[in-house]
Amino acid sequence: MTTLSEAASKRLLARHGVAVVDERTADTPDGAVDAAVELGFPVVVKLCGPEIAHKTERGLVRLSLTDETAVRAAAEALLAAAAPQDGAVELLIAPMLPGARELIAGVTDDPHFGRCVMVGMGGILTEAIADVSFRLVPIDRVDAEEMLDDLATRRLLGPFRGEPAVDRAALVDVLLALSELAQHDPNVRAVDVNPFIVVDGRPVAVDALVEMIEMDAEPG
Amino acid sequence: MSAADPRFAALFDPRGVIVAGASSHPGKFGFVALHNILANGYAGPVFATNRDGGEILGVHAMTSIEELPHGAADLVFVCTPASANPGLLRACAAKGVRAAFVTSAGYGEAGDAGRRAEHELVALADELGLLVAGPNGQGVVSTPSSLCAQIVAPYPPRGRIAIASQSGNFISSFENYAVHSGVGVSRAVSAGNAAAVTVPDFLDYYASDPETAVALAYVEGVAHGRAFFERIRAVTAQKPVVILKGGTTSGGQRAAASHTGALATDDRVFDGACRQAGVVRAATVEDAFEAAATFATQPRPNGPNIAVVTTAGGWGVVAADAIGRSELHLVALPDDLRATLDEKLPPRWSRNNPIDLAGAETRDTIPEVLDLVVNHDEIDAVIYLGLGIQSNQARMMRASHFFPDHGLERIVAYHERQDARFARAAADASAAAGKPILTATELAVTDPDNAGPRSVRETGRLCYPSANRAVNALEHLWCDARFRRRRARTG
């Protein structure tokens, strides 16, 4: 079993129709600065690689970088923080997305039920609040709609703090895409998208992790 | 095992029953089983075996199955020790027996040797073409055949709820509720160790059983969760299935690198699978029985819009609170209905929903109001509160030293007649409108002989012990109807 890097995970999701943040990879601080200029400030810079699972805990995510100097300093520090066991690493540069709401969605492989798809309220309290809903893969559109209705805090999917309501159809499409990915690619064992940030009502994947059972090459 | 498997007919509607290992000692299961079959009106021939022969409860005890006329019985109820069972089952199969219910312990629950014996039992069942329920189960009940082949009590009244349980004592619990409420049971079976026949096998049978309107199951472990739900989904396509699951708080949380995996506890995944398969998941034992009893006795709601009819304010307020916490909707009282009720009622009624009659009712008010409310297009179901309060007073009068003088006898009879009438009116109006009317009062448990709850029982419906529990039951009904509607399913 192995995990895809964050960038590869998001590429896989994007190919299945999930909206992911428009991001760039770079190997050097110069490359990171060029990417940030191209994307526009403020940006996020992360260190990522197939062996790095818990970036936040290791301080490998730098948020709200507002100029070239800050990006360069962050990129240098992150590359210096890479440990030998991290293997091949790269820098990931993405725009800071404005959005007050975070969602989580994913796929897990349950020992009794097999592949399951999940949606819930995301953010730092995700596991403490555990307002989530599961279904067995495959799901249909009605199942996906009902998963959203299961959430105790489903009111947060409505208009919220000056932001429009979450585009339910877009969110349902995400869940259907995850179900389809899990159903048709038996090599995909688990998917974790945490968080989706809701931008103008649409969920955009900001961080993602895909676990593969075995991997020779990046899957299609 | 297919739903059409004729061996289930031998288990639930046998043409003759053998109690193997019948005992003359009234404390032994082998006696209790024979007693319970004989005492509850089973009409077919009943046979017994006992090593020492003799007569037990008027039944000649055969020392060997060889004595049994071929084809006289198709069900054997096994109370013999596990070691005797292979020989017994072979002999029974040779005499035309198609199904066995095995109560014997000493199988899968009893260590390595027991597990081996259980594997051998299953292999033998396959070889003989015998349907073997159990082992280590408490029995089978089938009211259409007046069959009470179980080593627990009670024998429930006939009805339309079919029960399958991984715990034999929950069979007894649900049967106790059936006796108390009067809402009866079609079939009930304890799966025991479920060596060969599992809870989904029984539910399959119930799905096509014309005696059954709703299936009720108690489960603990669900080892092959996906296969379990794929089968249950086929059952819910035909009939509602209510499941009570034990062990929901045991966690089962996985050590996982991903957030999704860490959040995937057994209970959350089970709950999602229930919702996906259209299973009505009950929270408690009473919720499970009451949900099943409601499916068995009430029409299905076409929508979530509920009206509460109450004879006193506080009860209505609490009912409204419970509705507010549910998937149901306390509908705003339609203007035309308000105008109609204004013509019927003195001005102190609530003029809103809950429809609080505020003690303003006269002789015919309640039947008339129930009828008007349940027939309104914007109302999908009604909860009726306040039945039995006058009979409660009547009870005190009847017990007092003033009775029967001072007009007490007459007023007591009037109150009891009225409450009986109201209970019938609720059932009749509901049946005529094809919409649920649930009657709730704590008298259902505090004084079940009160004319109100007693008369609800006589209509065949459940008298709910509180407004909250009526709301819970109605919510289950609505969620089931909504599930079917969204998927264009019937059943």
Range 130-189 of A in CB contact (< 8 A) with B: 130, 132-136, 139, 142-143, 146-147, 150
pLDDT band at residue B343, thresholds of 50, 70 and 90?
very high
In terms of CA atoms, which chain A residue is nearest residue B479? A146
CB contact under 8 A, A108 and B258: yes
Residue B231 has pLDDT above 90, yes or no: yes
Distance CA B461, CA B383 (A): 13
Mean model confidence pLDDT for chain B: 95
CB contact under 8 A, B486 and A194: no
Where is average pLDDT lowest: B105-109, B157-161, B425-429?
B105-109
* B259, B279, B482, B487, best to mutate vs chain A, most A CBs in 10 Å: B259
Which pLDDT belongs to residue B360?
74
In terms of CA atoms, which chain A residue is nearest residue B485? A142
CB contact under 8 A, A136 and B224: no
CB contact under 8 A, A134 and B225: no
Distance CA A52, CA A87 (A): 9
Distance CA B331, CA B232 (A): 34
Residue A179 has pLDDT above 90, yes or no: yes
Which pLDDT belongs to residue B3?
53
Which pLDDT belongs to residue B245?
93
pLDDT band at residue B2, thresholds of 50, 70 and 90?
low
Residue B338 has pLDDT above 90, yes or no: yes
Residue B186 has pLDDT above 90, yes or no: yes
Contact of B263 with A127, CB cutoff 8 Å: yes
CB contact under 8 A, B262 and A107: no
Where is average pLDDT lowest: A86-95, A175-184, B281-290, B388-397?
A86-95
Q: Over the stretch A124-171, which tens digit does the pLDDT of each residue have?
A: 788 888 999 999 999 999 999 999 999 999 999 999 989 999 999 999
pLDDT band at residue A192, thresholds of 50, 70 and 90?
very high
In terms of CA atoms, which chain B residue is nearest residue A127? B263
Cα B152 to Cα B31, B34, B161, B169, B216, distances in angstroms: 12, 12, 18, 8, 18
Which pLDDT belongs to residue A134?
97
What mean pLDDT comes out for the span B356-378?
93
Which pLDDT belongs to residue A216?
54
Pick the closest to residue B169 from B285, B270, B282 (CA basis): B285
CB contact under 8 A, B269 and A110: yes
- Residues of chain B contacting residue A142, judged by C-beta atoms under 8 Å apart: 486-487
CB contact under 8 A, B269 and A127: no
Which pLDDT belongs to residue A218?
55
- Which token pair is B240? 């509602």
Residue A27 has pLDDT above 90, yes or no: yes
The amino acid at residue B420 is: A
Per DSSP, the residues of B109-128 read: TSHHHHHHHHHHHHHHHHHH
Residue B302 has pLDDT above 70, yes or no: yes
pLDDT band at residue A72, thresholds of 50, 70 and 90?
very high
Say whether residue A200 is in contact with chain B using an 8 A CB cutoff: no
CB contact under 8 A, B260 and A107: yes
Q: What pTM did the predictor assign?
A: 0.94
Q: Over the stretch A28-51, which tens digit does the pLDDT of each residue have?
A: 999 999 999 999 999 999 998 878
Q: Over the stretch B394-453, which tens digit does the pLDDT of each residue have?
A: 999 999 999 999 999 999 999 999 999 999 999 999 999 999 999 999 999 999 999 999
* Rg from Cα positions in chain B: 26
pLDDT band at residue B265, thresholds of 50, 70 and 90?
confident
In terms of CA atoms, which chain B residue is nearest residue A136? B273
Per DSSP, the residues of B210-244 read: TT-SEEEEEES--TTHHHHHHHHHHHHTTS-EEEE
How many Cβ pairs closer than 8 A exist between chain A and B? 94
Which pLDDT belongs to residue B264?
82
